[in-house]
Amino acid sequence: MPAITAIRPLPDLIRASFRAFGTFGVLLITQQAALTRARQILAAELAAIDLACSRFRPDSELTRINAAGGSKQPVSALLAEAIRVALRAAEATDGDVDPTCGASLVRLGYDRDFAQVAADSSELTRPAVPAGGWRRVDLDAAARTVQVPAGVLLDLGATAKALAADRAAAAIAAETSAGVLVNLGGDIAVAGPPPPSGWRVEIADGVHDHGPVVAIRDGGLATSGPADRSWRRGDLRLHHILVPRTGLPVSTCWAAATVAAASCTDANTASTAAIIRSAAALPWLESLALPARLVGGDGTVVTTSGWPGEF
């Protein structure tokens, strides 16, 4: 598990801000000379993930897979990796983080880019549907084929974003030998030699004006919460973290869950599952020895034993 310590904030390193996947992005790097190449690598990784995994692009690989009517389809190495990561997340969380929630999200109005979703407050006309079931997805990673049952829609949004952060950070560090941090909407991956005191990250939890600042030296950090992507349809207030067996937004005791893990993908998986598991999340995270910070709706903060003391 990655070491995580509490630190006081210091001035930023070399920094570039951007927008990606409908959210904010930040790139930090330890070498000024590496910034231009780092931005090129990052842009290429994000573009490749979007073309492979977007549920909203008509020309994406995932759109083709979802429209295949249950037939076996060839996939690129990148999409095969993204689906493998999503299925691994489902297995590790006993199905709480299920990539077959695509149809469930569509029924709740999340059927286009989020900016358009948030602008539409009309009444929903169809009932919710449960997830299609992740065990029904047949991925042959060696042959690079996947078979998704007819009517089941894959949604790789959460894990694909975290995977993009992991891949981009690793690729930048490998080519430039610099230390790098990639933050995609709260999904944070680091690679290469860290700054002397580690990478400083302020934890945003949607309740407090300012969260604690912690440092990570490797791996990843992710924060999940129901307020991150929420919208209104008629009298209903909805958000993107669903209970797979019902297809409805989870009712949880947590406003936010932040987890540190060996990768951003693992951290994202655990933080999302923590929101879904609600009160049962704390003992589950403790059993995995994952450093975590959970914030209740009333602002109460609880942490696992691996989380550092806060200033």
279, two tokens? 């009160």
What percentage of the chain reaches a pLDDT higher than 90?
A: 74
Q: How confident is the model at residue 7 (pLDDT cuts 50, 70, 90)?
A: very low
- Give the chain's end-to-end CA distance (angstroms, integer): 23
**pLDDT for position 51:** 97
**pLDDT for position 228:** 75
The region of weakest confidence among 3-7, 9-13, 148-152 is 3-7
For 124-156, give the secondary structure using H, E and C. Answer: CCCCCCCCCCHHHCEEECCCCEEECCCCCCCCC
Query: Cβ atoms within 10 A of the Cβ of 145, count?
Result: 14
Domain ranges for the chain: 4-303
Instruction: Assess whether pLDDT exceeds 90 at residue 235.
Output: no
**pLDDT for position 12:** 52
- Whole-model pTM: value is 0.92
Q: Identify which of 90, 94, 133, 137 has the alpha carbon closest to the alpha carbon of residue 265.
A: 90
Instruction: Assess whether pLDDT exceeds 80 at residue 4.
Output: no
Q: How confident is the model at residue 30 (pLDDT cuts 50, 70, 90)?
A: very high
pLDDT digits (tens, 9 = 90+) for 175-216: 999 999 999 999 999 999 999 889 999 998 878 777 889 999
Q: Identify which of 282, 268, 285 has the alpha carbon closest to the alpha carbon of residue 220.
A: 268
Average pLDDT in the chain: 91
pLDDT digits (tens, 9 = 90+) for 65-101: 999 999 999 999 999 999 999 999 999 999 999 999 9
- CATH class for domain 4-303? alpha beta
Name the one residue in this structure whose structure tokens are 């912690």. Answer: 214
Instruction: Assess whether pLDDT exceeds 50 at residue 17.
Output: yes
pLDDT digits (tens, 9 = 90+) for 205-227: 878 777 889 999 999 999 999 88
Under 8 Å between Cβ of 215 and 197: yes
Question: What distance in Å separates the CA atoms of residue 135 and residue 90, rounded to the nearest whole number?
Answer: 9
Question: What distance in Å separates the CA atoms of residue 197 and residue 79, rounded to the nearest whole number?
Answer: 36
CA angle, 77 then 81 then 85, to 5°? 175
Instruction: Assess whether pLDDT exceeds 50 at residue 5.
Output: no
**pLDDT for position 1:** 47
Under 8 Å between Cβ of 139 and 84: yes
Q: How confident is the model at residue 6 (pLDDT cuts 50, 70, 90)?
A: very low
The region of weakest confidence among 31-35, 41-45, 94-98, 237-241 is 237-241
Question: What distance in Å separates the CA atoms of residue 160 and residue 143, rounded to the nearest whole number?
Answer: 21
CA angle, 116 then 121 then 278, to 5°? 90
pLDDT digits (tens, 9 = 90+) for 107-161: 988 878 777 877 888 888 889 999 999 999 999 999 999 999 999 999 998 799 9
Distance of CA 234 to CAs 124, 196, 237, 258, Å? Answer: 7, 51, 8, 31
- Bridge-partner residues for 167, per DSSP? none
Under 8 Å between Cβ of 270 and 2: no
Residues 6+ apart with CB under 8 A from 266: 219, 220
Question: What distance in Å separates the CA atoms of residue 51 and residue 63, rounded to the nearest whole number?
Answer: 10
Question: What distance in Å separates the CA atoms of residue 146 and residue 37, rounded to the nearest whole number?
Answer: 34
**pLDDT for position 310:** 67
Helix ranges, the chain (H): 35-53, 61-66, 77-92, 102-107, 114-119, 157-176, 264-277, 281-287
Following DSSP, what letter does each residue of 192-209 receive, concatenated? SSPPTT-EEEEPP-SSSS
**pLDDT for position 85:** 98
**pLDDT for position 117:** 76
Instruction: Assess whether pLDDT exceeds 70 at residue 311.
Output: no
CB-facing half-sphere around the CA of 180: CA atoms within 13 A: 30
32, two tokens? 């000024």
